[in-house]
Amino acid sequence: MKVLITGGSGQLGRDVASIFEAAEHQVFSYSRNELDITDQQQCDHVIGATAPDVVIHCAAYTAVDAAETDVDGAFQVNASGTRNVAVASEKCGAKLVYISTDYVFDGTSQLPYQEYDTPNPQTVYGKSKRAGEVLTQTLSSRYFVVRTSWVYGKHGNNFVKTMLQLIQNKPLLQVVHDQKGSPTYTIDLAKFLLSLTMTEKYGIYHASNQGACTWYEFTEAILQEAVDIMGIKPLARLEPCTSAQFPRPALRPANSVLDHLSIRSNGFKDLRPWREGLEDFLNSY
């Protein structure tokens, strides 16, 4: 299978490339410098010349807070850029995987969000990613919309890497305890994408590591596993706090937990529990 990856130099894109290459697929991974998704002509040329069987669209504007004041920039990448990728993919008959986010929901539900619950994004980032979903569904006849949450991996900056630094250098570490979600290891997400793209079970999927925790509980686990696995000697004392104590430009969803209804109903193997993913990440870090 010939696979084209947008955002190939990013945190998820790099692990998607390695997983698909390990499965002996032909991978064409393009960074932003090599494929600017906001350039429609370039999208048509690069995707058309590659003629992939599958396009995995990882490129995105992910600066959640910056998007609140850079509305045009967020929509240019997440909406218009996705349109360009969808149109070019459709022209060459490729399956399209659009990576989306828990931010398409408002986070007020008491239950995990299922795939066909009504989106209600509250931030510019969430609205722009929802626009990308709609354009993917409108313009592609063979699409997978894959929503995920709290992603971390070996490449790029993420919460786990930040906490590993802070627990060794700060005497007191306050972490919010009123936002819950499912941490997702990029390797596990990439393996799911591999199994998904081998099928024609198109539609919307929620894909995150199983289970849920708050950011504070996630940090507790990072600290404990860092001590057990990496031998780190932490300086920090952890203390739970509220979101109100750390106001941010963009509202964070109180509930980011995603139910995997589509994974179950379509017969896919679910992602493993989040704690197992964290252990593997730290063992390879």
Structure tokens at 141: 């006849």
- Which of left, alpha, beta for 51 (phi over 0: left; psi -120 to 50: alpha)? left
Bridging pattern class, strands 151-152 and 237-241: unpaired
Active site residue 113: no
Residue 20 identity:
F
Question: Where do the DSSP E strands lie in the chain?
Answer: 2-6, 26-30, 54-57, 95-101, 143-148, 151-152, 172-176, 180-181, 184-185, 203-206, 213-214, 237-241
**CA–centroid distance for 50 within its chain:** 25
Q: Rounded to whole angstroms, how far apart are CA atoms 8 and 29?
A: 5
Angle (CA) 32 35 41, round 5°: 140
Catalytic residue, chosen from 61, 103, 125, 143, is 125
Question: Sign of the C-alpha dihedral, residues 262, 265, 268, 270?
Answer: positive
Bridging pattern class, strands 2-6 and 54-57: parallel
Q: Known catalytic residues?
A: 125
